[in-house]
Structure 1
């Protein structure tokens, strides 16, 4: 009996050592550190083999797992299970585009997600962001890094007539606690590009649980388009929490915004840690939603994108980080 236990213990130790060595042998995802003396950030870099995010939902560029200002951290790993090809195994102010050509494509044909590539359409009733679509053409990627910024370029050409050159620059403003994300989408194909893009944000301020310490404020009176979740309250221009979320995630659509970029102005603050962020754009909202889980807050502001052949569409997002008195 003693010998059997000894063999079992030896086997367990061997397996544990093998797993540890295997995990240790996995290459770290490519990344870059940027800073301006006020804000420091880490950015994961796109890579089809070793990139941190290789899912088919979000733009692969500009994934930020950490950003710090005055000892406060604004982004992080909000999910418990990580798989690089998971649809939402991603962090930071990441963006998703609605599809190009999905409705026209037959089963087995292809469609496009900007920032991801050309995907094959399976037999399904409608597009579903959780579907692990086959990546048929990832396009070409390049980047340029400086001390305070990383510029990403993704070019794609498809037989359907869709083609683009997409440039995204993530930079820190000199002398300010500010992150700026600049976008330039040039239509190099023969078909008009019409999409909507939203920033999921995935705010995780100081790893505080989503609850009454947080407020989310807009410059206009909010009107929920869905039934108000019992964990949330909407009063005038503000979203608050009635309680901590209990393992659930909640979503609601919102309206009330106007036609100018002035309404793309969101403040998220935590009264306990005294950290806040203001999110703005130079483009108006086309749609607005709010999604939250126990570990993150996600205002989801949408922008309508349109570029005719040979034309380009640009937009900028600005994040100002601050502390409360």
Structure 2
């Protein structure tokens, strides 16, 4: 059953592990599936309305470990299991790892606690297989007009954990289609020509020095690759943030992180705008990694 956190400004609906989503891609360990800011919905899903399957597709603020930097896949034979953090142990097939594949899944041991009206903690323990093992805790807490998602990843195995984590922020402010009322900006200037990918943005997106504006409502999926790597000043030492302004409803939503982005993409469709700040993880056996993502809302 979902957990609800709220104060006078923000309400969060958080899906408990295995409640609906049971896919092999995204994190199960406490998923924020909807945000209300002063009563206005802010989130949507990976698929458009009437094309969604909550069991296998992402929704809300759905994070993922190892979309490309998969842990342990190349170290094991076909038929053995590799770790997908926060999801489970996935059975290797004959093909290279691909995040869209629905792998056979051994589910983890999950637990959770609603500490107060504004705080909840989610935990999972992987056990150890093929030298890999971890304990993973996610804490979600609302404070005033912000909430923070805090991560703790402890390596309890014998092998180093090297991978990425990011959140697919499936944004749809106030439930309106993506369109000219929305502007996305980052806290750095970037060079459009240096993007590794710029897919289906012609006559759809106006590029600004720090982000994008929409010229119309999208009728295709769009994608911008490596926005952080394309920053003009080449000073890759600043913690990352993005901001989405909604002129139609007068709401501003932002995410700031306490790390320098390893990578940054933007993806979406008619009903989703998803800026993605990637965290790189190198966690030695016996060590922990901690990082935070803070979301803020303003009028």
TM-score computed with the length of structure 1 as normaliser: 0.83
Structure 1: 5+ residue runs without aligned partners? 1-29
Select 1:177's aligned residue among 145, 164, 167.
145
Shift of 1:55: 0.8
Structure (1 or 2) with the greater helix fraction: 1
Select 1:187's aligned residue among 155, 180, 187.
155
Write the mapping of 1:185-224 to structure 2, written as runs, cut at 5 A. 185-223=153-191, 224=195
Select 2:224's aligned residue among 236, 252, 259.
252
Structure 2: 5+ residue runs without aligned partners? none
Select 1:71's aligned residue among 35, 39, 52.
39
Structure (1 or 2) with the greater strand fraction: 2
State the structure with more CA Rg: 1
Moved over 4 A (4+): none
Task: Give the direction of change, closer, same or farther, for the CA distance of 1:103–1:300 in structure 2 (3 Å limit).
Answer: same
Which residue pairs with 1:243 in the alignment?
Answer: 216
Select 1:94's aligned residue among 62, 74, 93.
62
Which segment is superposed worse, 181-190 or 108-117? 108-117
Which residue pairs with 1:276 in the alignment?
Answer: 252
Which residue pairs with 2:198 in the alignment?
Answer: 227
SS at match of 2:129: coil
Report the Cα distance in structure 2 between the residues aligned to 1:121 and 1:100, rounded to whole angstroms.
12
Matched pairs, number: 283
Shift of 1:241: 1.4
SS at match of 2:277: strand
Which residue pairs with 1:122 in the alignment?
Answer: 93
Report the Cα distance in structure 2 between the residues aligned to 1:243 and 1:82, rounded to whole angstroms.
23
Select 1:157's aligned residue among 114, 127, 136.
127
Report the Cα distance in structure 2 between the residues aligned to 1:270 and 1:171, rounded to whole angstroms.
24
Task: Give the direction of change, closer, same or farther, for the CA distance of 1:141–1:206 in structure 2 (3 Å limit).
Answer: same
